[in-house]
Amino acid sequence: MIDNSRITAYESQLNDFDLDIRRGALGELLSQAATDPALLEPERQIANMHCHTFYSFNAYGHSPTSLAWLAKRHGFALIGMVDFDVLDAVDEFFAACDRAGVRGSAGLETRAYVPEFATREINSPGEPGVYYHMGIGFASSVVPAAAAPILSDLRARAARRNRELVARVNAYLDPVKLDYDKDVVPLTPSGNATERHIVTAYLRAAERKGGAAAFWSEKLGVPHEQMDKLLMDAAKMQNTVRSKLMKQGGVGYVQPDAGSFPTVEPVHQLIEACGAIPCVTWLDGTSAGEQAMPELLELLVGKGAAALNIVPDRNWNIADAAQREIKVKHLYAVVEMANEFALPLNIGTEMNSYGQKLVDDFDAPELAPVRKAFIDGAYFIYGHTVLQRAVGLGFQSEWAKGYLPERRDRNDFYTRAGRVLRPGQVAGLGLTSAWSPADILAKIELG
């Protein structure tokens, strides 16, 4: 019989900042599942390939280990972690996926500057030329020495922006002030804080001072009666503070320019040096830059991009019927464009904002026309990841490019491999670079 209180306690320990505690809790949960299989939901053809961990910010506090257990317990066929500006979570995540028998992938998200779109907003609202970008299919937290300075620069830039933001907001919120090193950095296990950590720290600091409702009402310009309700809703309060203080028009906001972020080229250099895949990201098709999506894809594919990331829920799960119709059309159009450009899809909910789902609703009628493309993309990145981790035969390898020079053919191979490879299976196959893609598929299917 399942002891729910015990399970809840171990699941809480999965998010402890002590890695040994996380590992121990996963072991206990897996032992319980072995004793009582009813703890685990049956596996379904659903996936979330874009989950942030607490190494950047996860709204539910999930560690990399916790995400692996989440997929195992709730029957996700695949799961992928992504963090802003760091690869700190990758090795822990794969270790947990391997123990749990979960299909996993790992990615990195950052912001870059696209000078060719300097006058057009792309996917960072109100910031022309600024572009959220990704790499997917990383195999390790270890970065080749030649590319390590690029990753260090991403982290350093983020920390510098955060410190400057806190200084501006401190001046406005006085007497509520933060010490960045004491109040913000400890909120994440490796010091890679984000704006959302800063918001959390300000909310805690205001609460310690007392009279939080009156304080925030004055500072945010929100009527007292409305503020009382906001403080009862953590998600809305977090988003309100961030929107009013740190986004465009807020006292902490500074308009970025060409020097605020690296260009796409060094980001691609980092991603490709790690054997991973540069991945275009798409918001909702409404900005000037995304209205010119064929031009943007031509540009970024020319620079090495080979996949496309979508957050489906914000493109169909919309209360306003007219807006929903518009955005669903944009969603179908970008999926078709991805197919035309031979870009597999990486999809997921992000989980870095309160209220985002643990996994997309794959049974939603609006997703029916694109469901197969979503799942194919998840298996593609898993197939690449398994072969890259095991024997260095991922999508970017010379082996793959030699046998399958056309990207579409490579896509098909890694998708097929991902679909038939069971978690843990590849270790016993004895694969080598002397084998052809056809040899590997035959061996996998026999094994």
Predicted confidence band of residue 302 (pLDDT cuts 50, 70, 90)? very high
Task: Give CA–CA dist 348/206, Å, rounded.
Answer: 34
Task: Give CA–CA dist 211/307, Å, rounded.
Answer: 49
- Asked if the model's pLDDT at residue 1 lies above 90, the reply is no
Q: What is the pLDDT of residues 203-245, one digit of tens each?
A: 999 999 988 999 999 999 999 889 989 999 988 999 999 999 9
- Asked if the model's pLDDT at residue 2 lies above 80, the reply is no
Instruction: Dig out the tokens for 287 from the structure.
Output: 């900005």
295, HSE (Cβ side, Cα atoms, 13 Å): 10
In angstroms, how far is CA 130 from the centroid of its own chain?
18
Closest C-alpha among 7, 27, 74 to residue 47: 74
Q: Tell me the mean pLDDT in the region 139-148.
A: 98
DSSP string, 79-113: EEEEEES--TTHHHHHHHHHHHT-EEEEEEEEEEE
Q: Tell me the mean pLDDT in the region 115-125.
A: 97
Predicted confidence band of residue 447 (pLDDT cuts 50, 70, 90)? low
Average pLDDT, the chain: 96
Cβ neighbour number for residue 437 with a 10 Å cutoff:
20
How confident is the model at residue 4, as a pLDDT? 87
Percentage helix, strand, coil for the chain under 3-state DSSP, each rounded to 5: 55, 10, 35
Ranges of H-type helices in 78-194: 90-100, 148-173
pLDDT > 70: percent of the chain: 100
Task: Give CA–CA dist 72/49, Å, rounded.
Answer: 14
Asked whether the beta carbons of 194 and 351 are under 8 A apart, the reply is: no
- Asked if the model's pLDDT at residue 404 lies above 90, the reply is yes
How confident is the model at residue 112, as a pLDDT? 98
CA angle 180, 353, 47 (to 5 degrees): 130
- Asked if the model's pLDDT at residue 172 lies above 90, the reply is yes
431 or 2, which is more confident: 431
Q: What is the pLDDT of residues 12-44, one digit of tens each?
A: 999 999 999 999 999 999 999 999 999 999 999
The architecture that CATH gives domain 44-143+283-392 is Alpha-Beta Barrel (3.20)
Asked whether the beta carbons of 435 and 443 are under 8 A apart, the reply is: yes
Side chain identity at residue 435, one-letter code:
W
Q: What is the pLDDT of residues 83-107, one digit of tens each?
A: 999 999 999 999 999 999 999 999 9
Domain boundary assignment for the chain: 1-39, 44-143+283-392, 152-246
Side chain identity at residue 412, one-letter code:
D
Element containing residue 430 per DSSP (H, E): none
How confident is the model at residue 354, as a pLDDT? 84
Q: Tell me the mean pLDDT in the region 123-152.
A: 97
Task: Give CA–CA dist 124/255, Å, rounded.
Answer: 11
H, E, C per residue of 256-298:
CCCCCCCEHHHHHHHHHHCCCEEEEEECCCCCHHHHCHHHHHH
